[in-house]
């Protein structure tokens, strides 16, 4: 299976390096020329607790520079999803699919509007990765990846992708309910990302103190109430417990929102806490904690 990853930041780089190490035919695409130049010059380096690995792979600024592929994995920030979907559509072979493992609400639907929902796979990943510099990533926490079809039950293509990821060292399972997966990750990001960005702390610190655990619980309970009102069956029973266990499993990681703020880039707060707020308004569920988190992050973005 020929694969292109659009978005060669922390998560795109991590998946690219693991897949390349397993012998998969994988290329990375990113519109940031300095990132691509670094990967072309030095490959992708992933720092693991047990040492580092360096992988050489094809890296390009424009997807159109690639041969047609069977699978495109989208790992760009939500604001760039539309552009990535258009590029992906141009390099997909007949029968090929686009997989989004991005954070936040609405990415799969944006991609489906471009290529049709039958060609879209969606899912989540609980790995924690920090982009240290272009082409250098710290793998700061492991977790499961889950994926399925946007418009139906998982099929052989999904199972093939899951088997490929798993054999590359990225344990992956298929699921028939991608809405549940996406909401499940949204609740986790609503509990971790904005708080770590505001407190400027790694994920693990949220689980260490009563005050921060309570803040997590306040944000998470609101998100769960909205998910329930939307008729979503979350993929875990105790959401606060789950979020704290992800914070612990990715203890050394800087959340993606903290990384964005530290780099002076816009964050994904609109599709995380902001999405909880918007869905809450639609369904009549109060979400004052998520609204405050959204407003604080937006204020910091503009400082």
Catalytic residues: 185
The answer to whether 10 and 137 are in contact (CB under 8 A) is: yes
When the beta carbons of 181 and 246 are compared against ligand KPL, the nearer one is 246
Residue 246 lies near ligand KPL (rule: CB under 6 A): yes
When the beta carbons of 119 and 139 are compared against ligand KPL, the nearer one is 139
Distance in Å, CB of 181 to ligand KPL, minimum = 13
Q: What x-and-dash track marks residues 207-236 binding ligand KPL by CB under 6 A? A: ------------------------------
In the set 27, 102, 256, 273, which binds ligand KPL (CB under 6 A)?
Answer: 256
Residue 146 lies near ligand KPL (rule: CB under 6 A): no
Q: Residue 163 — φ and ψ, nearest 5°?
A: -65, -40
When the beta carbons of 81 and 103 are compared against ligand KPL, the nearer one is 103
Q: Which residues 63-122 are close enough to bind ligand KPL by CB under 6 A?
A: 103
Residue 253 lies near ligand KPL (rule: CB under 6 A): yes
Distance in Å, CB of 43 to ligand KPL, minimum = 24
CA distance 163 to 255: 27
Name the CA radius of gyration of the chain, rounded: 18
Residue 203 lies near ligand KPL (rule: CB under 6 A): yes
Residue 192 lies near ligand KPL (rule: CB under 6 A): yes
Distance in Å, CB of 96 to ligand KPL, minimum = 26
When the beta carbons of 103 and 172 are compared against ligand KPL, the nearer one is 103
Distance in Å, CB of 35 to ligand KPL, minimum = 18
Residue 180 lies near ligand KPL (rule: CB under 6 A): no
* Cβ burial 134-170 (10 Å sphere, 16+ → b, else e): bbbbbbbbbbebbbbbbeeebeebbeebbebbeebeb
Q: What x-and-dash track marks residues 18-57 binding ligand KPL by CB under 6 A? A: ----------------------------------------
Closest CA to 4 of 121, 80, 142, 97: 97
CA distance 190 to 185: 8
When the beta carbons of 69 and 197 are compared against ligand KPL, the nearer one is 197
Residue 274 lies near ligand KPL (rule: CB under 6 A): no
Question: Under the rule (CB under 6 A), what is the footprint of ligand KPL?
Answer: 103, 126, 128, 188-189, 192-193, 203, 246, 250, 253, 255-256
């Amino acid at each position: 299976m020929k694969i292109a990853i659009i978005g060669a930041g922390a998560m795109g780089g991590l998946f690219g390096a693991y897949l390349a190490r397993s012998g998969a035919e994988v290329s990375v695409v990113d519109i940031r020329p300095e990132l691509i130049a670094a990967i072309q010059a030095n490959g992708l380096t992933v720092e693991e607790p047990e040492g580092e690995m360096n992988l050489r792979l094809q890296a390009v600024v424009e997807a159109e520079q690639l041969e047609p592929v069977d699978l495109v994995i989208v790992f760009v920030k939500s604001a760039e999803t539309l552009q990535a979907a258009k590029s992906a559509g141009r390099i997909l072979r007949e029968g090929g699919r686009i997989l989004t493992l991005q954070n936040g609400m609405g990415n799969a639907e944006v991609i489906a509007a471009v290529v049709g929902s039958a060609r879209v796979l969606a899912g989540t990943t609980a790995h924690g990765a920090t982009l240290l510099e272009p082409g250098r990533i710290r793998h700061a926490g492991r977790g499961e990846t889950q994926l399925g079809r946007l418009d139906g039950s998982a099929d052989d293509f999904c199972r093939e992708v899951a088997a490929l990821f798993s054999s590359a060292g990225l344990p992956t399972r298929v699921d028939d309910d991608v809405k549940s997966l996406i909401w499940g990750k949204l609740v986790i990001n609503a509990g971790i990302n904005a708080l770590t960005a505001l407190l400027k702390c790694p994920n693990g610190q949220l689980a260490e103190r009563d005050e921060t655990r309570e803040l997590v619980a306040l944000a998470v309970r609101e998100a769960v109430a909205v998910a329930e009102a939307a008729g979503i069956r979350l993929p875990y029973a105790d959401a606060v417990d789950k979020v704290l266990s992800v914070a612990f499993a990715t203890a050394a990681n800087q959340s993606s929102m903290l990384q964005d703020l530290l780099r002076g880039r816009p964050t994904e707060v609109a599709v995380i806490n902001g999405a909880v707020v918007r869905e809450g308004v639609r369904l009549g569920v109060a979400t004052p904690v998520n609204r405050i988190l959204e407003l604080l992050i937006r204020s910091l973005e503009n400082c």
